[in-house]
Amino acid sequence: MLKAGRSVLCSALTLAFATTLALTATPAAAQQKKKLAFIVNASSDFWKLAEAGVKKAQAELPKYELQFRYPAQGTAALQNALMDDLVAAGTSAIMISSVDPKTSVDAFNRIAKQVPLFTTDSDAPTSNRIAYLGSSNTLAGEQAGEVAIKALPKGAKCMGFVGFLGADNAKERIAGFRKAVAGKGIELVDVRGDDVDFAKARSNVDDVLAAKPEINCMVGFYSYNPPKIYEALKAANKVGKITVIAFDEDPITLGAVKDGSFAGTVVQQPYEWGYQGMKLMAAYLEGDKSKIPADKLIIVPTKVIDKSNVDAFSANLKATLGK
């Protein structure tokens, strides 16, 4: 009986030890996963594609924990605070679309001293980021200008609308557009910023319609600007009377391209930013720096969508998002 009692006791102790080991091993295993973060510049449906790309990358990177983060508001201060929080929580590398690169250089450099920092969508080239992965916004602006030239052979006076006037992606798109239309009789009279305030984005268009009847062309440089342009034109009964050149693939934008209300839209590949961005950071952390080019720019091409290819593009988009 004594021997049996000792056997039962030993079995109980062994079970207790195994249970304790199992309980302590799970958090330890979780801690071994390096965390990678993708930070966007504001809450917008545009980023759903990038989020889908990150999700695909997660399935291929089981040793990593991938995070997709929106700042509480689209401000540089909140973006920078979010990066600080992520680093403090043990994040190993960060990719970010900068709201305001010029005022964020010091903050970016502080983060870059602690973890590898990459940019996407809107670059911060004067910071110590490792590389930029995203569109050439200058070339995208030029493509938008080419759409305008084709749609407006007799020239036009255009008004532009954008979120952050100070962001590099906005400035480069605007500069590219102006370069393309130079000497073609098309003038980009001005660009109105809205700081990703959707109500202001709409009111900016309403104000132009009321105060500047000479404007016969509008350019929406951020993804939500073309839908707000469409809303305002519809309310003013001017859909089809003002030529619109768009950016990105909002459903309203694609619908307007399909029915001829918009001349065309320049689309990016945010899905690839999310997917390739996570794979790039994981490779970098594992010591593979071969994917970083000498100029530190990894350009994902943009494409013009017009009436001729909008159906095929829309079908592919739905398949990518699993709709």
Phi, psi of 38, rounded to the nearest 5 degrees: -120, 115
The pLDDT value recorded for residue 168 is 85
Which domains, ranges and CATH numbers included, belong to the chain?
Answer: 32-134+270-292 (3.40.50.2300), 137-267 (3.40.50.2300)
The pLDDT value recorded for residue 320 is 87
Reading the chain (323 residues) residue by residue, the pLDDT tens digits are 333 443 433 443 333 333 333 333 444 444 589 999 999 998 888 899 999 999 999 999 999 999 999 988 888 999 999 999 999 999 999 999 998 888 899 999 999 999 999 999 989 999 999 999 999 999 999 999 999 999 999 999 999 999 999 888 899 999 999 999 999 999 999 999 999 999 999 999 999 999 999 999 999 999 999 999 999 999 999 999 999 999 999 999 999 999 999 999 999 999 999 999 999 999 999 999 999 999 999 999 999 999 999 999 999 999 888 86
**The whole model's pTM is what?**
0.81
Contact at 8 Å (CB) between 118 and 133? yes
The pLDDT value recorded for residue 2 is 35
The pLDDT value recorded for residue 31 is 58
